[in-house]
Structure 1
Amino acid sequence: MPQDKYSAVWVSHSSIGDFLKCPRAYFLHNMYKNEKGRKINVVNQHLSLGTAVHETLEGLLNYKAEERFLKPLIETFEQNWAKVSGKVGGFKGIEEEMEAKNRAKKMIERVDQYRGPLEKKAVKLKEHANNMPPNFYLSEQDNIILSGKIDWLQYVPEDDSVKVIDFKTGKNDEDKDSLQLPIYALLLNALQKRKVSGAAYWYIDRNNEPTEVLLPEISSAKERVLAAALKVKQAREAGVFQCPRKAQGCFACKPFEKIIKGEAELVKVDETRKTELYMV
């Protein structure tokens, strides 16, 4: 029997991450809707920095390799920063925002100086209908769909392969237990046909070039991701989303609880995503 994508449980790296940190936070971030039928979200200066930098770099994919740097990269960054400036980006004051912006600008300047793979040919995974991110059935039996985007897919013409590059704007290395690489491996295996010849994290806050990492085998990747996805599905079916710290709450769910209690400031209504954004 054909599956119905609208009744499926959709999971991604971020939603699974929410759930593993705190099921209550997962519910409030991904499922809860207020009396106006809108979802709620918390603006965060670290996420805003990452968004401005990622949109600047990933926007280069819209151009041919030889045309990518005709427009100054810093100019594009300024346009993207304007979207997260002020309270809508989670900044409580000019000084706090300028500190974050200057740090982000240094990342852009670093990439502009050490362009490396960004000057080479790249490919993109096709987006699905209705502007949905790339996705596929992780398990038709369990009606679970895995979705996700990949920052950069460098094309390697020598052997007609692709190489994953993930931009990292945080100060710390990616956790070794992160599901990001397993999810990348699964997306690439399901949604494109070229061999994957490598993967790398580019810590652009401090490194001039990407750091090579190993993608896991498909079987082990699916085992890990599906195990986490099934926990999400079971919680949704049971309707039970309890914080590990119970009524006390934790760092992940407390900001959302403050929104519900009216203790946060509404800074924007995103009508496209039907989401209210709050500063806590």
Structure 2
Amino acid sequence: MFEASPFSLNMFQQCPRQYKFQYVDHLGDIYRKSRPYFTMGDHIHATLKDFLSVVPVSERNLPRLENLLREKWRRNRKGFDSKEDEKRWGEKALSQLRWFIQNQDISVIPFMIENNHRAELTDNILLKGRIDRVDKETDGSLHIIDYKTGKMPAEINQLQLHIYALILSKKQDLPLRKASYLYLQAGKLQTIELAAADLAQATSYVTDMVDKICAEREYPATPNSYCWNCDFLEICPNKEEAAGFTAEEDALDL
């Protein structure tokens, strides 16, 4: 059975060669590099998970939230160039969490939080995805929430939310009506309404992409603005061209 996720499908679409290195040749563990924005993003996700699932509602406050972040941070301080660099990223993380506690409902009890989901889309495709949070609304419907710690794009990627909804629809009988990106850096919540047509479109996209991947033989490298962040840049056949792209960490979909 072919295993696919929003992340892997997006990687193939951006650069088939990167996909090959990661999922066909399985070189990720060899070439993976620690990066500050990933470290920060991981800590924020883990902090919010514990804050909303472990900490009692009566004890949810800013000092407790900040202490949770510091606990996570002490366990993993990889990817920073210097103490000053680490401090800068730490301050960014604290700023995002302060916005969260000041502007979001911190009494919420999530229906699901930071769960890894697997669902059979067809007899041949297993769809996987990690969903940050699912809330149950007052009408009994489910609301998917995906945290983003990077810069808010000009247009949101609705397809990723549709795929998350598709995965969840295979595992839950409750209606799915809303999905949101919560941009912690920008302090914005962007919500879309979900419809049956969105799930049908997501199904077509996934099956079409899997067909393309299975038919691919060359896996060409396609230099683009994300190359600077690629773990496999040093072994890329187009590394000279790829190296010409400027690093833009805020543009990452974190």
TM-score, structure 1 as length reference = 0.72
Residue 203 (structure 1) aligned with residue 183 (structure 2) = yes
Is this contact kept in 1: 2:177–2:193, CA < 8 A? no
> Paired residue for 1:27?
20
Residue 227 (structure 1) aligned with residue 203 (structure 2) = no
> Paired residue for 1:155?
136
Q: 1:182 to 1:256 in 2, by over 3 A?
A: same
Superposition deviation, residue 64 in structure 1: 7.4
SS at match of 1:79: helix
Query: For 2:235 and 2:153, how far apart are their aligned partners in 1?
Result: 31
Q: 1:228 to 1:258 in 2, by over 3 A?
A: same
> Paired residue for 2:32?
41
Q: Unaligned 5+ residue runs, structure 1?
A: 1-7, 128-132, 261-280
> Paired residue for 1:122?
110
Superposition deviation, residue 12 in structure 1: 0.9
Superposition deviation, residue 67 in structure 1: 5.5
> Paired residue for 1:77?
69
Query: For 1:254 and 1:200, how far apart are their aligned partners in 2?
Result: 27
Q: 1:201 to 1:38 in 2, by over 3 A?
A: closer
Q: 1:135 aligns with which of 118, 121, 136?
A: 118
Superposition deviation, residue 49 in structure 1: 1.4
**Alpha-carbon deviations, 1:85-143, whole Å to 9, x = none?**
1xx2x211122221111011101111122231x4223212896xxxxx31111221xx1
* Structure (1 or 2) with the greater helix fraction: 2
- Size of the aligned set, in residue pairs, is 234
Alignment of 1:238-277 (within 5 A): 238=217, 240-245=218-223, 251=227, 255-258=231-234
> Paired residue for 1:112?
101
The list of structure 1 runs, each at least 4 consecutive aligned residues, that deviate by more than 6 angstroms after superposition, is none
Q: 1:189 to 1:68 in 2, by over 3 A?
A: farther
Superposition deviation, residue 66 in structure 1: 2.7
SS at match of 2:232: helix
Q: 1:57 aligns with which of 41, 48, 63?
A: 48
Superposition deviation, residue 68 in structure 1: 6.6
Q: 1:13 aligns with which of 3, 6, 11?
A: 6
Superposition deviation, residue 153 in structure 1: 0.8
Q: 1:160 to 1:76 in 2, by over 3 A?
A: same
- Code of the aligned partner of 1:73: L
Residue 193 (structure 1) aligned with residue 173 (structure 2) = yes
**Alpha-carbon deviations, 1:210-254, whole Å to 9, x = none?**
22223352211211222223222333xx4x322025xx9x71686
Query: Which is worse superposed, 167-176 or 21-30?
Result: 167-176
Superposition deviation, residue 38 in structure 1: 5.0
Is this contact kept in 1: 2:53–2:110, CA < 8 A? no
Is this contact kept in 2: 1:25–1:253, CA < 8 A? no
- Code of the aligned partner of 1:150: I
SS at match of 1:119: coil
Q: 1:226 to 1:60 in 2, by over 3 A?
A: farther
Query: For 1:218 and 1:14, how far apart are their aligned partners in 2?
Result: 17
Is this contact kept in 2: 1:153–1:164, CA < 8 A? yes
Is this contact kept in 1: 2:180–2:192, CA < 8 A? yes
> Paired residue for 2:249?
none
- Code of the aligned partner of 1:123: F
> Paired residue for 2:251?
none
